[in-house]
Amino acid sequence: MNDLRLLSYYLGIKVVDVHSFNTLLTSLLIVTGFARPLVSCLYDPTKRYRTNSRRTIQGANYNMQMRVLVCIHNEDNVPMTIHLLKSCNPSRVSPVTVFVLHLMKLTASSAAILVPHYQGDTLKSDGNCSMHIFNAFERLEQQYKGTIAVQQFTAVAPYKSMHSDICTVAADKRTTIVIIPFHKQWSIDGKVGFVNRSIRIVNKNVMDWAPCSVGLLINRCQMDSNQSILSCDLSYSIALLFFGGDDDYEALAICGRMAGNPNVSLTVVLFKHDLCNYEVKKLECLIHHYAARDCRDRIHFKEFMVQNGEEITKVIRSLGDTFDLVIVGRHFDPRSPIASGLTEWSEVPELGLIGDMLSSSDFKFAVLVIVQQPLMTGLTELRTMNSSRSISSKVSSIFSSDEDRHTLVEK
């Protein structure tokens, strides 16, 4: 547009004649028309963070720091995110490093930027909101000094490319999980109050391209009063719905870490059917491997035999409102016989069949949907095989060592 104004100005003051003006205008249109598709073909921004294997909680050493990237769109996302971080059992042995990324929509009066917090005072757009968000996480760091470290950033970008900033920070900081808020927000009475479809697109892109595991957090205002954020002694009742999928094992690793928190009570709900290929005893050994040895009394297992989606729904509804947070893996084989009756009602497929059901307004608890597997074309099947093999070997080795330990005790 500026170039066109300049050409018109030159034509008006007789710097160029009509023929030259037409030639320059045609050249401008050709260059402008071909530049964007040409750049799109030659430049792939996802190469900066694309990877053949995602970093995961399973693959991380428990005695090393857990690196988490949390994405915040507005102040309503803050309380539940802080509760989630507190439940992850930060300690001096296994500290948590939190990278906070405040995401702001690009407007006509601002430029696309990604800056750390100490430069955030240069932002004019929505500055008060940013400061409230940053102050909340600074208080969290002060409250958990030595066990939680916080670094904060602001990203101003259009929604269509916002996932690129998220994935870039995740890759640069080598995080093991990215926490993103759901695109729906609930009011206090439990009804859907606001839906942002642009955020939904951002979430889809992050789930597809993130270089590490992703947790999509559905907040229903159950645990997020502003007064309770400052308390260190809050108790959390958490449930894991386990179906045996690859993402379920990543969720199991996260829950094992949470179970080390003395203020967390964990219930693992196991759904079994005729074709399931996991053993409850081995799963117990696996989660005890992730969790601290002194927390086994706070871990409870419930086992249900189910044959179809209707029976799954009945079991989940029977949980009622006894839990503050329910964790579930996204991947769930839609060809499984127990999926019958669930696929027809799917409204948010990126959550998976169970996550989609839990996102309805029928439930009052918060939900964390875990995504470990990327969906990059040509690599999904190979990664699924590798993931299954590594999981099987890990469970077998842990189970074998546990049996050996019992044998030595008996001798």
Q: Give the per-residue pLDDT at 202.
A: 97
Question: Taking the CB of residue 305, how many other CB atoms lie within 10 A of it?
Answer: 12
CB < 8 Å & 24+ apart, contacts of 291-294? 291/256, 291/257, 291/259, 291/260, 292/89, 292/259, 292/260
In DSSP terms, 185 is beta-bridged to 194
Residue-wise pLDDT for 142-161, tens only, equals 999 999 999 999 999 999 99
185: which residues sit within 8 A by CB, 6+ positions away? 76, 192, 193, 194, 195, 219
Confidence of residue 37 (pLDDT cuts 50, 70, 90): confident
Q: Mark 168-193 as b/e (b = at least 16 C-beta within 10 Å).
A: bbbbebebbbbbbbbbbbbeeeeeee
As given in the structure block, the two tokens for residue 221 are 């205002």
For residue 165, pLDDT beyond 90: yes
User: Does domain 236-371 match CATH 3.40.50.620?
Assistant: yes
Count Cβ atoms within 10 A of the Cβ of residue 99 and give its class: 0-12 exposed, 13-18 middle, 19 or more buried: buried
Please give the average per-residue pLDDT across 75-96, as a whole number. 93
Residue-wise pLDDT for 329-351, tens only, equals 998 766 666 777 777 777 898 99
Q: Give the per-residue pLDDT at 280.
A: 65
**Angle of CA points 67, 167, 144, to nearest 5°:** 25
For residue 2, pLDDT beyond 60: yes
For residue 63, pLDDT beyond 60: yes
For β-strands 192-195 and 213-218, DSSP reports them as unpaired
Confidence of residue 391 (pLDDT cuts 50, 70, 90): very low
94: which residues sit within 8 A by CB, 6+ positions away? 62, 63, 64, 65, 66, 257
Contact between 133 and 102 (Cβ < 8 Å): yes
Count Cβ atoms within 10 A of the Cβ of residue 17 and give its class: 0-12 exposed, 13-18 middle, 19 or more buried: exposed
Of 118-127, 148-157, 330-339, 376-385, the least confident:
376-385
Count Cβ atoms within 10 A of the Cβ of residue 28 and give its class: 0-12 exposed, 13-18 middle, 19 or more buried: middle
Same fold yes or no, 57-211 and 236-371: yes
Q: Give the per-residue pLDDT at 410.
A: 34
Q: How many residues can be counted in the chain?
A: 411
**φ, ψ (nearest 5 deg) of residue 156:** -110, 115
Q: Give the per-residue pLDDT at 380.
A: 41
Q: Give the per-residue pLDDT at 226.
A: 44
185 alpha-carbon distance from chain centroid: 16
- For the chain, give the secondary structure using H, E and C: CHHHHHHHHHHHCCCCCHHHHHHHHHHHHHHHHHHHHHHHHHCCHHHHCCCCCCECCCCCCCCCCEEEEEEECCHHHHHHHHHHHHHCCCCCCCCEEEEEEEEEECCCCCCCEEEEHHHHHHCCCCHHHHHHHHHHHHHHHHHCCCCEEEEEEEEEECHHHHHHHHHHHHHHCCCCEEEEECCEEECCCCCEEEECHHHHHHHHHHHHHCCEEEEEEECCCCCCCCCHHHCCCCCEEEEEEECCCHHHHHHHHHHHHHHCCCCEEEEEEEEECCCCCCCHHHHHHHHHHHCCHHHHHHEEEEEEECCCHHHHHHHHHHCCCCCCEEEEECCCCCCCHHHCCCHHHCCCHHHHHHHHHHCCCCCCCEEEEEECCCCCCCCHHHHHHHHHHHHHHHHHHHHHHHHHHHHHHHC
Contact between 125 and 156 (Cβ < 8 Å): yes
Confidence of residue 370 (pLDDT cuts 50, 70, 90): very high
Please give the average per-residue pLDDT across 377-394, as a whole number. 42
For residue 164, pLDDT beyond 80: yes
Please give the average per-residue pLDDT across 108-131, as a whole number. 68
Percentage above 90 pLDDT, the chain: 38
**φ, ψ (nearest 5 deg) of residue 257:** -65, -45
163 or 12: whose pLDDT is higher?
163
Is the pTM for the entire model greater than 0.75? yes
189 or 185: whose pLDDT is higher?
185
Q: For all residues of the chain together, what is the average pLDDT?
A: 80
Q: Mark 382-405 as b/e (b = at least 16 C-beta within 10 Å).
A: ebeeebeeebeebbeebbeebeee
Range 57-211: architecture per CATH: 3-Layer(aba) Sandwich (3.40)
For residue 200, pLDDT beyond 90: yes
Of 26-40, 253-267, 277-291, 313-327, the least confident:
277-291
Residue ranges per structural domain of the chain = 1-43, 57-211, 236-371
